[in-house]
């Protein structure tokens, strides 16, 4: 069944297609007036600081609620929420009622919190939206206020047009996606208010429009499934002593030895239907770009998941391809010692793993312990972010409209399913039975707009194209039978 499924999937997503016309202009679906309204909304959202340290998601959600209300949303359709002990980490659920109450709704999800940013590290003020040389610069300009603003703007446009969809549309703006341990709105809603957000499926961040380093469009990604983030701690303790009389048994050296063993290990390659389709599609793209060795290897590993040579070649070419093939674990933080003139009594390291769907956190912990093979090095599983869940099925219902619009916007451009190596709040919704897909047709280059980093940015044209694409995509889903 699987192989036939893959071929059907490939045919369905038109990967067996032509060379893409990377410069075709997409059809215009928005007036200048609506674009100006969008820019104004986007600016307000971006310039509302929503970092955990000094911002307020609750304020940002209130401002978006005010705009929806001004557009005609009734109070009964606006559901602001905040936990009493996390007053600044609130969010909003908005409901746009459909004609047929028997049909399940479609959920539009976006997180409004952003990663921390220090003014002194940035070229511009990270909390001021700056438009320069065709790009918008600010913290959250891309991740994830681009899609959050597009969702709010889209519902406002529908309201102004008096659009009456078959299905109800729901919008959830949530906080806490970027920080483990903070109040996560998507988790809270899925576990405490599931009825309020329950839907046939949800659309979220998690996949983008892929540009190559020259700025040519490569493919439009659709996320179907994500790996599971999990931190582990390696811990070594030692009785220490005076550094003038060193002994062989040293906490830092033991830890270093353990880290080297983890560094040298690659978890076995694994596949989901989505990642098989990804490599099959990417093989075609690589072939059109003259990278025949990579194309051959990708086709080979799809045929034979144990083809070590092909897997090694593909893994070595691009960290994203390596991350799509397997569980990965990497050292991200280190601390050890307590005084310069004393033998260390303790040394610790954080190992951040991205676990392949279907693999448990404990299985990975045991593997790390086996690799380290040193009873003095304790391997502990740290706080688990949330449940790991199987990838949602990539159905023609979800994929069909994306391809149809892609053919109109960017003729010949492949639509590629991806297994997201990073994590999104989709994991909480998938876990409670709301299949969640990453669809964000905003094109970005290999630096992904420096999300989470310094001087985050998004292309103005890319953002506006993504806005028009999603405005039309949601209409198709909302009117779907
Ligand atoms: Zn994000």
Percent of the chain predicted with pLDDT > 90 = 87
Does 235 fall in a domain?
Answer: no
Average pLDDT, the chain: 92
Q: Please report whether residue 68 resides in a domain.
A: yes
Separation of CA 221 and ligand 1 centre (Å): 16
Residue 357 lies in a domain: no
CB 143 within 8 A of CB 115: yes
Query: Residue 395 C-alpha to ligand 1 middle, in angstroms?
Result: 24
Structure-model confidence comparison of residues 29 and 9, the more confident one: 29
**Could you report the per-residue pLDDT of 45-80, keeping only the tens digit for each?**
999 999 999 999 999 999 999 999 999 999 999 999
pTM of the predicted model, to two decimals?
0.87
Mean pLDDT of 195-212: 97
Among 386, 432, 425, 389, CA closest to 230: 386
- Taking residues 1-7, what's their average pLDDT? 42
What average pLDDT does the segment 134-150 reach? 98
Query: Which of 16-25, 146-155, 318-327 has the weakest average pLDDT?
Result: 16-25
CA 22/CA 443 separation, integer angstroms: 12
Residue 384, pLDDT score = 76
Q: How far is the CA of 176 from the centre of ligand 1 (A)?
A: 10
Q: Which of 3-17, 69-83, 192-206, 362-376 has the lowest mean pLDDT?
A: 3-17
- Does the pLDDT at position 41 exceed 90? yes
**Distance in Å, CA 424 to ligand 1 centroid:** 7
CATH number at residue 452: 3.40.630.10
pLDDT average, residue stretch 327-356: 96
Residue-number span of the structural domain to which 196 is assigned: 31-206+424-478
- Which of 270, 294, 268, 269 has the alpha carbon at shortest distance from 281? 294
C-alpha 113 – ligand 1 centre gap (Å) = 8
- Could you give the number of structural domains in the chain? 1
Q: How far is the CA of 441 from the centre of ligand 1 (A)?
A: 14
CA of 145 to the centre of ligand 1 (A): 9
Tokens 């889209």 identify what position?
154
Does a structural domain hold residue 170?
Answer: yes
383 pLDDT band, cuts 50/70/90, is confident
CA 383 to centroid of ligand 1, rounded, Å: 20
Question: Is 91 among the domain residues?
Answer: yes
Q: What spacing in Å lies between the alpha carbon of 204 and ligand 1's midpoint? A: 9
Reported as a single tens digit per residue, the pLDDT across 245-304 is: 999 999 999 999 999 999 999 999 999 988 999 999 999 999 999 999 999 999 999 999
Question: Cα–Cα distance between 215 and 459 in angstroms, integer?
Answer: 11
Q: Would you state the structure tokens that stand for residue 344, as one six-digit string?
A: 């260390």
**Residue 1 pLDDT > 90, yes or no?**
no
* 402 CA → ligand 1 middle, Å: 21
Residue 386 lies in a domain: no
CA nearest to 156, candidates 60, 30, 57, 56: 30
pLDDT at 2 over 80: no
CA of 142 relative to ligand 1 center, distance in Å: 8
45 CA → ligand 1 middle, Å: 15
CA–centroid distance, 110 to ligand 1, in Å, is 8
319 Cα–ligand 1 center, Å: 20
Question: Does 114 fall in a domain?
Answer: yes
Largest CA distance in the chain: 81
Q: Cα of 178 to ligand 1 centre, how many Å?
A: 7
Taking a C-beta distance cutoff of 8 angstroms, is the pair 403, 14 a contact?
Answer: yes
The Cα 336–Cα 251 span in angstroms is: 8
Structure tokens at 436: 């969640």
Q: 443 lies in a domain?
A: yes
Residue 6 — pLDDT band, cuts 50, 70, 90?
very low
- Cβ atoms of residues 310 and 322 within 8 Å: no
Q: Cα–Cα distance between 368 and 282 in angstroms, integer?
A: 31
């Amino acid at each position: 069944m699987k192989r036939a499924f893959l071929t059907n999937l490939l045919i369905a997503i038109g990967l067996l297609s032509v060379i893409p016309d990377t410069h075709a202009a997409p059809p215009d679906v928005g007036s200048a007036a609506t674009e100006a309204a969008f820019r104004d909304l986007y600016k307000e959202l971006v310039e509302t600081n929503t970092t955990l340290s000094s911002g307020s998601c609750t304020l940002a959600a209130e401002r978006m609620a005010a705009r929806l209300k001004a557009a005609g949303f009734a109070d009964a359709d606006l559901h602001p929420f905040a936990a009493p002990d996390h007053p600044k980490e609130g969010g909003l659920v908005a409901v746009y009622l459909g004609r047929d109450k028997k049909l399940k709704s479609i959920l539009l999800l976006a997180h409004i919190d952003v990663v921390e940013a220090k003014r002194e590290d940035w070229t511009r003020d990270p909390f001021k939206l700056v438009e320069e040389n065709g790009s918008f610069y600010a913290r959250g300009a891309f991740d994830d206020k681009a899609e959050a603003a597009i969702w709010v703007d889209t519902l406002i446009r529908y309201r102004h047009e008096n659009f009456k969809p078959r299905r109800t549309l729901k919008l959830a703006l949530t906080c806490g996606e970027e920080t483990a341990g903070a109040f996560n709105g998507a988790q809270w809603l899925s576990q405490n208010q599931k009825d309020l957000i329950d839907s046939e499926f949800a659309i979220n961040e998690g996949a983008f429009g892929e540009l190559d380093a020259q700025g040519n469009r490569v493919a439009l990604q659709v996320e179907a499934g994500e790996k599971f983030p999990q931190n582990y701690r390696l811990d070594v303790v030692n009785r220490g002593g005076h550094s003038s009389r060193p002994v062989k048994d040293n906490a830092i050296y033991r830890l270093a030895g353990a880290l080297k063993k983890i560094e040298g290990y690659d978890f076995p390659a694994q596949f989901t239907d989505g990642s098989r389709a990804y490599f099959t599609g990417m093989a075609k793209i690589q072939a059109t770009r003259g990278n025949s060795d990579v194309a051959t290897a990708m086709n080979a590993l799809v045929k034979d998941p144990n083809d070590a040579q092909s897997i090694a070649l593909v893994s070595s070419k691009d960290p994203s391809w390596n991350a799509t093939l397997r569980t990965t674990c990497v050292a991200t933080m280190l601390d050890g010692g307590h005084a310069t003139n004393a033998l260390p009594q303790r040394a610790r390291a954080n190992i951040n793993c991205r676990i392949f769907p279907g693999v448990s956190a404990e299985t990975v912990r045991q593997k790390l312990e086996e690799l380290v093979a040193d009873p003095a090095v304790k391997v502990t599983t740290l706080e688990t972010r949330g449940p790991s869940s199987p990838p949602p099925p990539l159905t023609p219902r979800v994929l069909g409209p994306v391809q149809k619009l892609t053919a109109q916007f960017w003729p010949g451009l492949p639509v590629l399913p991806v297994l997201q190596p990073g994590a999104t709040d989709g994991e909480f919704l998938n876990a409670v039975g709301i299949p969640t897909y990453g669809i964000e047709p905003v094109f970005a280059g290999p630096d992904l707009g420096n999300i989470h980093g310094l001087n985050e940015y998004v292309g103005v044209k890319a953002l506006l194209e993504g806005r028009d694409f999603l405005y039309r995509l949601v209409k198709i889903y909302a009117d779907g039978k």
